[in-house]
């Protein structure tokens, strides 16, 4: 059968234009120029930097500025803060300005705003200011809301949250975790309470059921103790059961933990873990991708699982039924290209036996096995410049 | 040092293969077409406009579904603000390309009717760049299968226009190719095919006898017309490094 002349599909997939990127040597010179301008006390603007290096975009210049600021940043804090010492991450020069934060927050609060679109817009423009400017004016008109009002309210809220130790970072911020940038479900902003630590790039998410068995709790405790002893940060939710066991044991062993929660960061869910959450803000980090005040919902925990998978280098599943969030996180991690460790006892479940056959899944017995696997994964994700077949 | 096997293996968990040519599946780029057609609109238009000079073979490794992991990586390996993210994704996508070509370049050569490809090149970006494109780094430096045969054969030509349109002079060959029986042309993403097919036209015009295109991801928007039906069908087909789109059969690869 021949192809008919008239085709009914005149607007096939939208085109994707190329964009200007950069050459290493030009990049290096631009980064150096920016650093010199900072040292001289008059930092170059994006526009100025772009114009200095020929036919480049402001987005390109923005990237160079971020790289320059990264180079100038103080090293990661390697020592755990002393118990009781409140240790907010230092505010770096290259965080969003308060105006940018307020505009972004106001945008996210607008009705019917799709957050994944916000992420894409931020990345596409490479600038909070540019991405928010159009969105706020257009939607302000649409909903008859004066942009200035909600931006001012957002600024006041940010101020109030900051007094409580809560910061907001965007996907364009230098502090936004690299691991999380690499997955498609990265949220546009994160709310943080506590310290970001470079060691988190090699962290492990420990997940499991709320209705844990004594054996499951023992496994979680043994694993958390072993990981803490090896300096591996433990990432988990803040639910009862496995999550709580992982956090409390790792903290007791002097380790670092990060709690990724499914509500606004100023809420504790379940309420009985409020004290634990507070302790983690002091000794580690609490992360939420939701607006402060957001209640738990049916969809928020799966979304949280995606972020937990993205934040960690790998996920360990301790004890999980077919319908559990822990199994869901294993599935998400594999979709993200992340490694999954399954405790051997899980093989009693059909789903776990199926997962154990998949690439990127290792069945383990103890923390030592997980640690060995992590070493191999860390070597893979290191910035090696050569690729070999095997 | 990163190995191809380690970096590419996890992709089996989330890559979605393109479907074999059929009614409703484009026989060139393998995207969803109208159920009554065997070519998508773009490929049909290209064939009507340019009877000769288009690629002899087009082989997408997988679907790059909008807002899913592969599409994310194919954008961020070039444009992420974080240099470490760009570096890691470049290595991973390099491993994907090497793994695929290591197992299937011979199939692509067979489909093109040549014993092998003497030269490998990439589709240049359509805007001016000062230096090495990350794809050039992948094909010319990282991938052992291609780096010895890599040559940047194409430069921007006089033709402008949006990248989704096919233009005979968007690119020009940097040298005559009358002594090149076959060129393997690599691109990261095929959206409309405008860039890749324009590059194929330039290579053929310069004398290349055969041009085969390999793209890592065939851009795919589930929300577009009949794409969701195609997507659901493709999801039932297990991705494996042992099969490529030139030999895949849905009957024996169903999950």
Higher pLDDT, A159 or B131: A159
Using alpha carbons only, how large is chain A's radius of gyration in Å? 23
* Mean pLDDT value of segment A277-305: 96
Residue B137: pLDDT above 60?
A: yes
The strand ranges marked E within chain A are 167-170, 189-194, 204-207, 234-236, 257-261, 285-288, 314-317, 339-343, 361-364, 387-388
Q: What is the pLDDT of residue A104?
A: 94
* Mean pLDDT value of segment A69-95: 38
Q: Does some domain include residue B103?
A: yes
Tell me which H or E stretch contains B182: strand B182-190
Residues 6+ apart with CB under 8 A from A340: A314, A315, A316, A317, A330, A333, A334, A355, A360, A361, A362
DSSP string for residues in A1-42: -PPPSS-S-TT-S----------HHHHHHHHHHHHHHHHTT-
Compute CA distances A47 → A26, A34, A55, A129, B184, whole Å.
Answer: 16, 12, 11, 13, 40
Compute CA distances B246 → A375, B28, B94, B171, B211, whole Å.
Answer: 38, 11, 21, 27, 15
* Mean pLDDT value of segment A302-322: 95
Nearest-by-Cβ selection for B39 from A3, A11, A360: A3
In the block, residue with structure tokens 């910061």: A167
pTM, rounded to two decimals: 0.84
Closest CA to B183 of B138, B218, B152: B152
Return the domain boundaries, chain A.
11-86, 93-176, 198-380
Q: Does some domain include residue B165?
A: yes
Closest CA to A209 of A179, A241, A232, A234: A241
* Mean pLDDT value of segment B97-107: 97
DSSP string for residues in B26-81: -TTT--B--TT-SS-HHHHHHHHH-SSSS-SEEEEEEEEETTSHHHHHHHHHHH-S
Query: Which value does ipTM take for this structure?
Result: 0.91
Compute CA distances A74 → A34, A70, A78, A232, whole Å.
Answer: 17, 8, 11, 22
CB contact under 8 A, A182 and B76: yes
Q: How far apart are the first and last CA of chain A?
A: 47
How many whole angstroms separate alpha carbon B231 and alpha carbon B211? 28
Task: Give the pLDDT confidence of A160-215 residue by residue, as tens digits.
Answer: 999 999 999 999 998 999 999 999 999 999 999 999 999 999 999 999 999 999 99
CB contact under 8 A, B14 and A334: yes
Residue B255: pLDDT above 70?
A: no
Residue A276: pLDDT above 90?
A: yes
In chain A, the residue whose alpha carbon lies closest to the alpha carbon of B37 is A3
Candidates B81, B190, B215: best to mutate against A (most CBs of A within 10 A) is: B81
What torsion do the CA atoms of A382, A387, A390, B1 make, to the nearest 10 degrees? Answer: -30
| Structural tokens at position A84 | 């009781």
Enter the DSSP assignment of A202: G
In chain B, the residue whose alpha carbon lies closest to the alpha carbon of A176 is B82
Using alpha carbons only, how large is chain B's radius of gyration in Å? 17
Task: Give the pLDDT confidence of B240-252 residue by residue, as tens digits.
Answer: 999 999 875 444 4
* Mean pLDDT value of segment A51-76: 63
| CB contacts, 8 Å: A12 with chain B | 31, 40-42, 192, 224
Instruction: Tell me which long-range contacts B131-138 makes (C-beta under 8 A, separation of at least 24).
Output: B131/A22, B131/A23, B131/A24, B131/A25, B131/A26, B132/A23, B132/A24, B133/A21, B133/B78, B134/A21, B134/B77, B134/B78, B134/B86, B134/B90, B135/B78, B135/B186, B135/B187, B135/B188, B137/B90, B138/B90, B138/B93, B138/B94, B138/B97, B138/B186
Instruction: Identify the bridge partners of residue B64 per DSSP, sorted by sequence position.
Output: B219
In chain A, the residue whose alpha carbon lies closest to the alpha carbon of B39 is A3
Q: Does some domain include residue B144?
A: no
Residue A116: pLDDT above 50?
A: yes
DSSP string for residues in A224-280: HHHHHHTTPPEEE---TTHHHHHHHHHHHTT--EEEEESS-TT--SSGGGHHHHHHH
Range of the domain at B221: 14-19+38-128+150-240
Task: Give the pLDDT confidence of B154-204 residue by residue, as tens digits.
Answer: 998 887 666 678 888 999 999 999 988 999 999 999 999 999 999 999 999
Q: What is the pLDDT of residue A93?
A: 34
Which SS3 state, helix, strand or coil, does residue B243 take?
coil
| CB contacts, 8 Å: A311 with chain B | none
Q: How far apart are the first and last CA of chain B?
A: 33
Nearest-by-Cβ selection for A25 from B127, B131, B192: B131
CB contact under 8 A, A66 and B134: no
Q: What is the pLDDT of residue A52?
A: 77
Residue B19: pLDDT above 50?
A: yes
CATH topology of domain A198-380: Rossmann fold (3.40.50)
Structural domain count, chain B: 1
Task: Give the pLDDT confidence of B20-59 residue by residue, as tens digits.
Answer: 999 999 999 999 999 999 999 999 999 999 989 999 999 9
Closest CA to B219 of B104, B73, B85: B73
A84-116: burial string, b at 16+ Cβ within 10 Å, e else = eeebbbeeeebbbeeebbbbbbbbbebeeeeee
Q: What is the pLDDT of residue A150?
A: 86
What torsion do the CA atoms of B42, B45, B50, B51 make, to the nearest 10 degrees? Answer: 110
Q: What is the pLDDT of residue A27?
A: 73
Average pLDDT, chain A: 83
CB contact under 8 A, A9 and B225: yes
Q: Are B53 and B40 in contact (CB under 8 A)?
A: no
Average pLDDT, chain B: 92
Confidence tier at B209 by pLDDT (50, 70, 90) = very high
Q: Does some domain include residue B4?
A: no
When mean pLDDT is compared across A185-194, A379-388, B65-74, the lowest value belongs to A379-388
Q: Does some domain include residue B248?
A: no
CB contact under 8 A, B78 and A20: no
CB contact under 8 A, B69 and A66: no
């Amino acid at each position: 059968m021949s192809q008919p002349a008239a085709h009914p599909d005149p607007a096939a997939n939208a085109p994707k234009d190329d964009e200007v990127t950069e050459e290493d040597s030009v990049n290096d010179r631009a980064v150096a120029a920016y650093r010199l301008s900072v040292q001289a006390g008059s930092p170059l603007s994006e526009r100025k930097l772009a114009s200095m290096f020929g036919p480049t975009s402001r987005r390109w210049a923005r990237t160079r500025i971020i790289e320059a600021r990264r180079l100038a940043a103080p090293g990661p804090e390697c020592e755990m803060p002393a118990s009781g010492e409140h240790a907010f991450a230092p505010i770096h020069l290259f965080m969003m300005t308060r105006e940018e934060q307020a505009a972004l927050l106001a945008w996210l609060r607008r009705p019917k705003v799709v957050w994944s679109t916000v992420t894409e817009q931020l990345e596409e423009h490479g600038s909070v200011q540019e991405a928010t400017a159009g969105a706020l004016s257009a939607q302000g008109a649409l909903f008859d809301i004066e942009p200035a009002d909600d931006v001012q309210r957002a600024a006041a809220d940010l101020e109030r949250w900051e007094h409580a130790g809560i910061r907001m970072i965007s996907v364009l911020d230098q502090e936004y975790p690299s691991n999380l940038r690499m997955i498609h479900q990265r949220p546009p902003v994160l709310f943080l309470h506590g310290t970001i630590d470079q060691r988190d790039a090699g962290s492990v998410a420990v997940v499991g059921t709320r209705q844990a068995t004594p054996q499951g709790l023992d496994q979680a405790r043994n694993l958390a103790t072993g990981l803490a002893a090896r300096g591996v940060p433990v990432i988990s939710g803040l639910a009862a059961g496995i999550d709580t066991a992982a956090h409390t044991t790792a903290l007791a062993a002097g380790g670092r933990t990060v709690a990724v929660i499914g509500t606004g960061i100023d809420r504790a869910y379940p309420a009985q873990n409020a004290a634990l959450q507070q302790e983690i803000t002091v000794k580690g980090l609490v992360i939420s991708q939701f607006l402060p005040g957001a209640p738990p919902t049916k969809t928020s925990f799966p979304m949280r699982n995606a972020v937990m998978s993205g934040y960690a280098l790998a996920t360990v599943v301790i004890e999980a039924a077919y319908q559990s969030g822990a199994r869901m996180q294993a599935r998400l991690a594999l979709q993200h290209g992340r490694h999954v460790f399954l405790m051997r006892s899980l093989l009693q479940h059909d789903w776990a036996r199926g997962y154990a056959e998949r690439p990127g899944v290792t069945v383990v017995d103890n923390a030592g096995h997980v640690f060995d696997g992590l070493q191999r994964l860390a070597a893979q994700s290191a910035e090696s410049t050569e690729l070999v077949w095997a | 040092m990163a190995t191809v096997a380690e970096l590419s293996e996890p992709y089996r968990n989330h890559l979605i293969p393109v479907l074999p040519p059929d009614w409703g599946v484009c026989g060139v780029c393998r995207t969803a077409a109208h159920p009554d057609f065997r070519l998508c609109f773009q490929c049909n238009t290209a064939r009507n406009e340019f009877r000769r000079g288009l690629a002899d073979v087009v082989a997408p490794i997988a679907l790059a579904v909008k807002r899913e992991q592969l599409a994310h990586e194919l954008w961020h390996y070039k444009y992420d603000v974080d240099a470490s993210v760009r570096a890691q994704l470049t290595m991973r996508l390099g491993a994907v390309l090497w793994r695929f070509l290591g197992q299937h370049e011979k199939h692509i050569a067979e489909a093109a009717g040549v014993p092998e490809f003497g030269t490998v090149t990439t589709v240049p970006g359509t805007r001016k760049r000062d230096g090495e494109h990350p794809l050039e780094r992948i094909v010319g430096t990282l991938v052992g299968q291609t780096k010895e045969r890599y040559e940047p054969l194409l430069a921007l030509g006089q033709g402008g226009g949006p990248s989704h349109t096919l233009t005979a002079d968007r690119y020009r060959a940097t040298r005559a190719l009358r002594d090149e029986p076959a060129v393997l042309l690599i691109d990261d993403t095929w959206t409309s095919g405008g860039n890749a097919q324009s590059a194929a036209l330039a290579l053929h015009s310069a004398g290349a006898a055969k041009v085969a295109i390999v793209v890592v991801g065939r851009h795919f928007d589930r929300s577009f017309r009949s794409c969701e039906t195609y997507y659901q069908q493709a999801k039932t087909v297990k991705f494996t490094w042992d099969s490529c789109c030139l030999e895949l059969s849905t009957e024996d690869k169903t999950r």
